[in-house]
Amino acid sequence: MDRTGDVFKHANYAGVGKNGGVLALAGDDPVCKSSTLPSHSEVALYDALMPTIYPGNVQEILDLGLHGFMLSRTSGLWVGAKIVTNVADEAGTAEVDPERVSPIIPVVELDGKPFQHQINVNLIPPYGLDMERTIHGARLELARRYAYENKLNRITVPSPNAWLGIVTSGKTYFDVRQALVELGSTTGRCAATASASSRSACCSRWSRASCASSGAACRRSSSSRRSARSSRCSARTCSTA
């Protein structure tokens, strides 16, 4: 990613058509298994204004991959896909039912009419400014709405009485769940924790929904947090995970 940033930015500005779609796979090696340096691409993808999906296993590569292509067609943006070493190297089973992914297509207006991106590879001045206007005025909003309407980010353990919310993404989500199990906390016993899984660019509507699911944890006072430490799932256990 750090060597292709200029190409990605220009291509993303130009965009893709409604019958196209681009899914840019970024291979990340955070543990330096076969790379000289640890790597993570989401910051560079964010800087290129590319929505990003983060599959955590084989099934999610297929499901989120299909969503990624449709998100790209809908918004006219390139979509990044963060694939970490442990996911790329794993083996597993997956369902391939053609009805498994049924996208909901949002609509955003620009200049008083539904926006439909038109590819423009002529980015010499002043056309780059026109493309920037569509990105910030419609295309990124389409991406946010697509992620929200299609529930790409999910609340996996709703806990109305929770005082702490844990938000994770991609492969890290499964690592956190496994860590909780190894610490002796199960979904049924750890009622003090709400787990939210973020597998795409987060949006404010989803963030508010996560807080509401966790018993408005974002608004609780420090005294409420102290009193919650006596719950069956201790603060130390949940915080460590």
- Find tokens 């893709």 and name the residue: 16
pLDDT digits (tens, 9 = 90+) for 68-92: 999 999 999 999 999 999 999 988 8
- pLDDT value of residue 231: 38
The bridge status of strand 164-169 relative to strand 79-84 is unpaired
- pLDDT value of residue 233: 36
- pLDDT value of residue 196: 57
Task: Give SS3 for 118.
Answer: coil
The bridge status of strand 193-198 relative to strand 154-157 is antiparallel
Residues 1-28 have a mean pLDDT of: 91
Q: List, as one string, the DSSP characters of 5-40.
A: HHHHHHHHHH---TT---EEEEEE-TT-SSSSS---
Residues 131-159 have a mean pLDDT of: 92
Token pair of 213 as six digits: 């699911």
- pLDDT value of residue 206: 55
pTM over 0.75: yes
- pLDDT value of residue 21: 94
- pLDDT value of residue 180: 84
pLDDT at 12 over 50: yes
Residues 42-47 have a mean pLDDT of: 92
- 215 contact partners, CB below 8 Å, separation of at least 6: 159, 160, 161, 162, 163, 194
pLDDT digits (tens, 9 = 90+) for 188-238: 444 444 555 656 655 556 566 656 655 544 444 344 444 444 333 333 333
Task: Identify the weakest region by mean pLDDT among 13-17, 108-112, 122-126.
Answer: 122-126
- pLDDT value of residue 198: 58
- 215 near 163, Cβ under 8 Å? yes
Centre a 10 Å sphere on the Cβ of residue 97 and count the other Cβ atoms it contains. Answer: 6
- pLDDT value of residue 127: 86
- pLDDT value of residue 232: 38
Cα dihedral sign for 221, 225, 228, 230? negative
| Greatest mean pLDDT range, 42-46, 152-156, 178-182, 198-202 | 42-46
Domains plus CATH for the chain? Answer: 5-149 (3.40.50.970), 154-240 (no CATH)
